[in-house]
Structure 1
């Protein structure tokens, strides 16, 4: 039995779950618009305590890598990297576009919310391959529609309406989905998790040149 702790803060939530490879031992999900940085580690402690498991017993970590909130993604990824280093265990990065489609019968189009009437999308088992991307909802091509298509995820409704497709919520909370997917990958030498943004950061370095420093000499 392996113990995988998965967690995600890529949207307005903190979500975590402990998975043993076959069943969920404990989980927690809290919706919050802010405060994830202060809440994440206490929530992870609470999930482990609920299952009667110590940090030292973990075999691997799973972390949501986005796309989603820029700061939230960095928070989770940095936490996972630090914990993995301290515990000497692997950390597996999991795209939330993959996580929301977990255990859904295909064809599926994953849909996550993005600002300004846009959505992050990715296909699974669709006739047309739709790679992970950020797109305006009113620019989604009509030829993405196909028989039996289900749009899944928090932004599924407007996309399903545009494509004349069915819609459904994700089968698992983000932390649970991340833990389940990580359980299948952690033994295959995963790369260190890295953020998936699919768009530029809202805050960018200043474009102006730095002030010239005059030498008094």
Structure 2
């Protein structure tokens, strides 16, 4: 009988964890398969809509291109925002559903965390959205307080995209110790209550 790729997990083979990272928090569908800081394969497809239909096929294509299957993964990494409300919800729901089906951890990483990772000393990460400036303070890569949303400022942004190799690296350090990922909402008008219900996977 052919093993079910969503229930057979080949963890424990030793070495650095194999992490599948993905991001739909903006007008794109991006994913990378990463081990020990090295990107085995990566895709970044611009799209204003259609991420819900494209994400899982894209992940399957990445795994196949790298010669891996779902059961080879040790963890999932998902960019939780800030970003597009629908895109954040989509990626987080996919990560939680896949983690449940595969029996592996899913780790949420914010854009702020990815941009601050590896920086020594004090750093304020600035992002700009349509309604203003988003920020979070860090010291040696560790957050100092929660991220904040404010009015637009004339300061240049630190960056707007999270590097998926960095996201995967952060997730690899947190495997087994992170809570289930949740979307990061910073502006109340953009948010509706987050449901803890995890979608079931159809592996037929």
How far does the alpha carbon of each residue in 1:154-183 deviate from its partner, in whole angstroms, 9 at most, with x for none? Answer: 3xxxxxxxxxxxxxxx6xx54332211101
1:132 is paired with a residue whose SS is: strand
Q: Find 1:119's aligned residue among 133, 142, 147.
A: 133
Q: 1:203 to 1:104 in 2, by over 3 A?
A: closer
Please give the alpha-carbon distance, in whole angstroms, between the structure 1 residues aligned to 2:139 and 2:30.
27
Q: 1:24 to 1:42 in 2, by over 3 A?
A: same
* Paired residue total: 175
1:62–1:91: 8 Å Cα contact kept in structure 2? yes
Structure 2's unaligned 5+ residue stretches are 1-14, 194-204
| Rg (Cα) greater in structure | 1
2:41 aligned with 1:53, yes or no?
A: no
Structure 1's unaligned 5+ residue stretches are 141-149, 155-169, 206-217
TM-score normalised by L of structure 1:
0.71
Q: 1:50 to 1:103 in 2, by over 3 A?
A: farther
2:47 aligned with 1:32, yes or no?
A: yes
1:176 is paired with a residue whose SS is: helix
1:14–1:29: 8 Å Cα contact kept in structure 2? yes
2:185–2:191: 8 Å Cα contact kept in structure 1? no
Q: After the TM superposition, which segments of 4 or more aligned residues of structure 1 sit over 3 Å from their partners?
A: 103-107, 201-205
* Counterpart in the other structure of 1:19: 34
